Chains A and B, each alone.
Chain A
Amino acid sequence: MRTKVSFLDHGILWAGVIFLLMPLWIAFASSTHTAEYIANEGVQFWFGDNFINTYSGLLNGTSSIFLEKGDNNVTGTGAWIMLKNSLILGFGFAIGKIIFSMLAAYAIVYFRFPLANLFFWIIFASLLLPLEVRIIPSYEIVASMGLVNTYTGLILPLIASATATFFFRQFYLSVPEELIEAARLDNAGPVRFFLDILLPLSKTMIAAIFIIMFVVGWNQYLWPILMTTDSSFNTLLLGIKNIVNVIDEGKIPAYNRVFALSVLAVTPPVLIVIFFQRWFIKGLVETEK
């Protein structure tokens, strides 16, 4: 039985929707105007006719992100390159994390071996401490290994956390015991069991974790700032950091292109979350609890 839905209920929901949509709406609408127009008229709530101009200049790196000429240090790298690097980071992080965690969780749940408990606690200790608070020694270690300005140095240290391992462990624990007995009776070894039984069962789980991890990887902010000094490794989020740095020096930004960069930086993860919202919600609600 449901209570009657009133106009007030819808009104509150719509107020919420508008509150959440407004900032990005303003960014998108403004990005389709010229920088001069926004500088004179303020941010815009409706579209202009400068869409193609703004985005093509930004993606190719031909137009400066600042109104004053002669400082191209931000858009010297076109947004295409940043987009590519963000994608590599997002996919590399999500895929790497899923593979490492699935294997480790499989070992922990399905095997009895010496030191298993010790390994378990070492791995799960990493849940305790975000990268932000151990960032200086992490940087020094990665730098001493010569991994600055490499994708390996960018991605591997971020994977060093057991969140996904924890999810997979919980999922495996909920898989019925009978399956492994049946596999044994069929003379299937551990590799066969993993590939033929456990992997197909984990599909939805993998999809859900992939979406969550892609968003986490794509949105990495602090670590890429430290790890990449070469602009060919810039991610979109790093582009945003650079803009903020230069605004802080008192330069006037080309508002339309800065908004366009924000739009580019949110579009892929937002689309993934919207299109796969079912899996995403399933992953969130079923794994984190």
Chain B
Amino acid sequence: MKKQQFQHSALPYFLIAPQLLIILIFFVWPALQSVQLSLYLEDPWGLSSTFVGLDNYTDALSSDYYHQSALFTLIFSSAVTFFSLALALLLAVKADKVIHAQTSYKILLIWPYAVAPAVAGLIGIFLFDSHVGPLYHLLNQLWAFDHKLDPTDATLALILMSVWKQISINFVYFLAGLQSIPRAVKEAAAIDCQSSFKRFWSIDFPLLAPTTFFLLVINITYAFFETFGIIDTLTRGAPGGETTSLVYKVYRDGFIGADLGGSSAQSVILMVFVMALTVVQFRFIERKIHY
């Protein structure tokens, strides 16, 4: 906080009131309701509900579907995070070397940031369409690719579209990170070490570690939550529910399955996970930033 501050009786309350109200009504209240709902078992018509304590949690955590979904989320998120970080880093290192055409490359590489995940999913539907899709035909030549029947192929299609959408934002951060490395450091490194590959791993990469860690958190959050739109358009959890991520399962169980208690319990579990992730991130950010 600032050392110098205004003293005023009512003004700060007026300033903070709009935001505070919105957050109380549309965030705190529903979040508390999620917790409450997760302790009750509601009949499918919403007429009665019985208090069941932590049953919804134990049910969720012990169900095979939940395990399957957790496993899928783990594999999917790791793959999306790894490939979008690795490819973005490769492109950023190359773009950092190029001086003249850098702005053009930047413009050509950042725009997918603005594409909605659902649109990426819809375009994916047609790229992987067994009738008109070029990717389907290409992959089908290589092995009997069919994302409608084979869960691995469906996961692959989801990973491809999710990585496609995520590379650009990682690229921006990596490029900014590389450009903030002082010239003197680069020059010294160039004198000491001839191999540019070795130079990258011993000098640039360690200096990028804070950026990479920050991006890791961002990418995990992306793979968890924002890919909802891609999953809901491209596979909708099919085949056989094997591409249902944990977030998508909350939505499916709650809205389509009308299992409010179970769905709420799952969202509370996710809440705890996100909180842990955010706390880690906050601690990290607070250490990084000097006011």
A residues neighboring B (CB under 8 Å) = 1-3, 5, 9-10, 12-13, 16-17, 19-21, 23-24, 26-27, 30, 38-39, 42-43, 99-101, 103-104, 106-113, 116, 119, 122-123, 125-130, 132-138, 140-142, 156-157, 159-162, 165, 170, 173-174, 177, 180-181, 184, 189-191, 193, 215, 218-219, 221-222, 237, 240-241, 243-244, 247-248, 255, 258-259, 262, 265-266, 269-270, 272-274, 277, 280-281, 284-285, 288-289
Contacts and interface: CB of A to CB of B under 8 A. Distances in A.
Interface stretch (B54-62, B67-75, B104-112, B150-158): B104-112
A285 B172 contact: yes
Interface in B179-202: 183, 186-187, 190, 196
Contact of A270 (B111, B176, B232, B271): B111
B116 interface: yes
Nearest to B253: A136
Interface in B250-268: 250-251, 254-255, 260, 263-264, 267
Given A26-B127, A277-B107, A285-B172, 14 more contacts: A2-B97, A20-B112, A26-B123, A101-B19, A122-B20, A161-B23, A180-B6, A193-B6, A218-B116, A219-B114, A240-B233, A265-B119, A277-B106, A281-B110
A137 B30 contact: yes
Contacts of A284: 169, 172-173
A27 B123 contact: yes
Interface string B113-133: 111111111111111000111
B2 A173 contact: yes
A30 B120 CA distance: 16
Contact of A128 (B18, B168, B247, B278): B278
Given A17-B105, A247-B125, A133 B8 contact: no
B19 A190 contact: no
B143 interface: no
B99 A2 contact: yes
B19 A165 contact: yes
Given A13-B98, A135-B251, A160 B23 contact: yes
B45 interface: no
Interface residues of B, number: 104
Taking chain A's interface residues, is the majority helix, strand, or loop, or is none over half, making it mixed?
helix
Contacts of A24: 112, 115, 123
B250 A133 contact: yes
Contacts of A5: 97-99
B247 A16 contact: no
Contacts of A43: 126-127, 132-134
A154 to B, nearest CB: 12
B111 A248 contact: no
B271 A132 contact: no
B127 A110 contact: no
Nearest to A30: B126
A129 B289 contact: no
Contacts of A12: 90-91, 94
A173 B4 CA distance: 11
Contacts of A132: 225, 228, 247, 250-251
Contacts of A240: 116, 118-119, 122, 233
A190 B6 contact: yes
A193 B23 CA distance: 27
Contacts of B167: 16, 20
Contacts of A160: 22-23, 25-27
Given A23-B127, A129-B274, A130-B274, A262 B114 contact: no
Contact of A161 (B27, B95, B251): B27
Contacts of A103: 15-16, 18-19
Contacts of A127: 278
A133 B28 contact: no
B207 interface: no
Contacts of B168: 20
Contacts of B47: none
A191 B11 CA distance: 9
Give the 10 A-B CB pairs with smallest separation, nearest first: A137-B33, A137-B30, A219-B116, A160-B26, A269-B114, A104-B19, A111-B12, A107-B15, A133-B267, A157-B26
Contacts of B124: 23
Contacts of A273: 110-111, 113-114
A141 B20 contact: no
B205 interface: no
Given A108-B16, A111-B11, A266 B114 contact: yes
B248 to A, nearest CB: 9
B274 A128 contact: yes
Contacts of B113: 215, 273
A221 B118 contact: yes
